[in-house]
Amino acid sequence: MKNIAILGSTGSIGRSTLSVVRSQAKHFRAACLSVNSDIDNLYKQIKEFRPFSVCVRDKKSAAILAKKIKPSIKIYCGESGLEELVKDKRIDQVMFALSGAAALRPLVSAIKSVKDIALANKEAMVMAGPIIMRLAARHKVKILPVDSEQSAIWQALSGSSSTSISSIYLTASGGPFRSVPKNKLRSVTINDVLAHPRWRMGRKITVDSATLMNKGLELLEAMFLFNVEAEKIKVLIHPEAIIHSMVEFADGVVIAQLSEPDMRIPIQYALSYPARLPGSLPKINFYGLKNLNFGKPDFDKFPSLGLAYQAARDLGSMPAVLNAANEESVESFLNKRISFLDIPRVVARVMARHRRVSSPDLRQVMQTDSWAREEARSIISSLKS
Ligand code: MN3
């Protein structure tokens, strides 16, 4: 029985993780839960899963929750609360299902407390990949990828050394605007963006999927997780989302990972690794599959992808700038303060203004993150007026 802490338990990945825990109750227990603001659903989850501890955003939410649940369940609050929660000796593995840069400090804390990591959050790895990987190696902690593409690459590699890789094909569904002409993108609305063809996800990642920044973040994440340079990672549009990524080795052999597009599959493997558990997850019906299509991404239509490649060549503090400027722009787009096409414009301008630090430590990464957010906000307010 593995005790799992699930950070971000009411989000899309969090709920899928709890669904895996529910269906594999002999193997996993939801030992700790955390949410940002969804106290009502957290309360329902507490009643069903009876965790040791939970974490909420602030003292006010903690006080509301404390009146409703048993005093034996410890309540933490805020980012510092998450840093404390993950230290609990009873926890075996921490699922990072929360989105955004807020995952970075709790991730560092979990690694230092020698907890294996199931990583669905991309932003922390994009910001501080080399620091996280060094820290994990030092503490002998496994970082098990949950994102379907990273899980696919990890499974395709299954122990092969990164020196034998000739290319990684990072597959992309292409998002909701794959077949929409470029001149129509000017007028897209939040509702157009949130109608993703293949995956139901949180709002931030859904916008990132529409701009293809999601693939850009995955490019950076894959570089750090698997120690591969940007030039070897190719984005491949694959609308059916059946192949979740592939590795081509030096001898020309390609190993792909295929499964139904259902996040419970990579989530369960990150929790059960190295075992593969039988269960009721959906399986591919190859006899019903007519076509698998592949194509090149359109860098002209989706400038965010080119910006991510630029950050991937620059490295140092640049990926943290890309991430922070993108998070701020997406937030502003969701609040209807900027247009869809403004998102990459803002990111490009913040990157152009950045004076890169070549190998930043954690403190410099955090400083870069705050600097880039301030720059993005000031550019956004100048765009508006
Ligand atoms: Mn993905």
79-123 confidence digits (pLDDT tens): 999 999 999 999 999 999 998 999 999 999 999 999 999 999 999
Question: What is the distance between the alpha carbons of residues 283 and 331, in angstroms, rounded to a whole number?
Answer: 36
Query: What does each C-alpha distance from 306 to 235, 298, 347 come to in angstroms?
Result: 11, 10, 11
Ligand 1 mean position, distance from CA 267 (Å): 12
DSSP at 100 = S
Task: Report which residue type is found at 118.
Answer: A
Ligand 1 mean position, distance from CA 212 (Å): 11
CB 55 within 8 A of CB 5: no
Are 253 and 351 part of one and the same domain? no
Ligand 1 mean position, distance from CA 71 (Å): 38
Considering 145, 176, 202, which residue would you say is the last residue of a domain?
A: 145
Q: Residue range 202-218: average pLDDT?
A: 95
Query: What does each C-alpha distance from 376 to 231, 301, 355, 373 come to in angstroms?
Result: 28, 22, 15, 5
Ligand 1 mean position, distance from CA 293 (Å): 18
Distance of CA 74 to the CA centre of its chain: 27
Are 248 and 367 part of one and the same domain? no
Are 27 and 90 part of one and the same domain? yes
DSSP at 277 = -
Are 15 and 60 part of one and the same domain? yes
The CA dihedral of 356, 362, 365, 366, to the nearest 10 degrees, is -150
Ligand 1 mean position, distance from CA 76 (Å): 30
Are 155 and 280 part of one and the same domain? yes
Of 36, 216, 63, residue with least CA distance to 126? 216
Are 139 and 12 part of one and the same domain? yes
Coil vs helix vs strand at 189: coil
* Residue 161 pLDDT grade (very low, low, confident, very high; cuts 50, 70, 90): confident
Are 304 and 213 part of one and the same domain? yes
Residue 305 has pLDDT above 80, yes or no: yes
pTM of the predicted protein model: 0.96
DSSP at 316 = T
Q: Domain containing 373 — which CATH number?
A: 1.10.1740.10
Beta bridge partners of residue 77, listed in sequence order: 56
Q: Residue range 129-157: average pLDDT?
A: 98
Of 228, 230, 221, 235, residue with least CA distance to 250? 228
* Residue 197 pLDDT grade (very low, low, confident, very high; cuts 50, 70, 90): low
The residues, ordered by sequence, that sit 6+ positions from 2 with a Cβ below 8 Å of its Cβ are 27, 28, 29, 92, 93, 271
Question: What is the distance between the alpha carbons of residues 276 and 76, in angstroms, rounded to a whole number?
Answer: 34
Residue 385 has pLDDT above 70, yes or no: no
The boundaries of the domain holding residue 258 are 147-263+272-315
Residue 198 has pLDDT above 80, yes or no: no
Distance of CA 259 to the CA centre of its chain: 19
Q: Residue range 169-187: average pLDDT?
A: 94
Ligand 1 mean position, distance from CA 205 (Å): 9
Do the strands 53-56 and 2-7 form a parallel or antiparallel pair, or are they unpaired? unpaired
Ligand 1 mean position, distance from CA 148 (Å): 5
Q: What is the pLDDT of residue 195?
A: 78
Ligand 1 mean position, distance from CA 147 (Å): 5
Ligand 1 mean position, distance from CA 97 (Å): 13
Question: What is the distance between the alpha carbons of residues 9 and 291, in angstroms, rounded to a whole number?
Answer: 36
- The pLDDT tens digits for 215-229 are 999 999 999 999 999
Ligand 1 mean position, distance from CA 150 (Å): 7
Question: What is the distance between the alpha carbons of residues 25 and 162, in angstroms, rounded to a whole number?
Answer: 35
CB 61 within 8 A of CB 29: no
Ligand 1 mean position, distance from CA 94 (Å): 19
Question: What is the distance between the alpha carbons of residues 277 and 331, in angstroms, rounded to a whole number?
Answer: 38
Ligand 1 mean position, distance from CA 274 (Å): 21
- The pLDDT tens digits for 15-69 are 999 999 999 999 999 999 999 999 999 999 999 999 999 999 999 999 999 999 9
Q: Residue range 161-183: average pLDDT?
A: 94
Distance of CA 147 to the CA centre of its chain: 6
Are 29 and 141 part of one and the same domain? yes
Ligand 1 mean position, distance from CA 217 (Å): 9
Are 159 and 300 part of one and the same domain? yes
Of 98, 149, 107, residue with least CA distance to 127? 107
Q: Is 159 left (phi over 0), alpha (psi -120 to 50) or beta?
A: left
- The pLDDT tens digits for 277-292 are 999 999 999 999 999 9
The residues, ordered by sequence, that sit 6+ positions from 299 with a Cβ below 8 Å of its Cβ are 305, 306
Are 280 and 290 part of one and the same domain? yes
Ligand 1 mean position, distance from CA 218 (Å): 7
The two tokens of residue 143 are 């970082």
Who wins on pLDDT, 196 or 208? 208
Rounded percentage of the chain residues whose pLDDT exceeds 90: 93
Coil vs helix vs strand at 367: helix
The two tokens of residue 102 are 């807020």
- The pLDDT tens digits for 308-343 are 999 999 999 999 999 999 999 999 999 999 999 999
Ligand 1 mean position, distance from CA 149 (Å): 5
Question: What is the distance between the alpha carbons of residues 343 and 323, in angstroms, rounded to a whole number?
Answer: 12
Ligand 1 mean position, distance from CA 161 (Å): 23
Are 18 and 151 part of one and the same domain? no
Q: Domain containing 19 — which CATH number?
A: 3.40.50.720
Question: What is the distance between the alpha carbons of residues 133 and 210, in angstroms, rounded to a whole number?
Answer: 29
Q: What is the pLDDT of residue 310?
A: 98
Ligand 1 mean position, distance from CA 73 (Å): 34
Query: What does each C-alpha distance from 275 to 56, 93, 111, 268 come to in angstroms?
Result: 32, 15, 22, 10
3-state percent helix, strand, coil for the chain, nearest multiple of 5: 50, 15, 35
Ligand 1 mean position, distance from CA 281 (Å): 19
Q: Residue range 185-194: average pLDDT?
A: 91
* Residue 202 pLDDT grade (very low, low, confident, very high; cuts 50, 70, 90): confident
Are 331 and 301 part of one and the same domain? no
Q: Residue range 359-373: average pLDDT?
A: 98
Task: Report which residue type is found at 77.
Answer: C
Q: What is the pLDDT of residue 201?
A: 79
Per the structure, the count of domains in the chain is 3
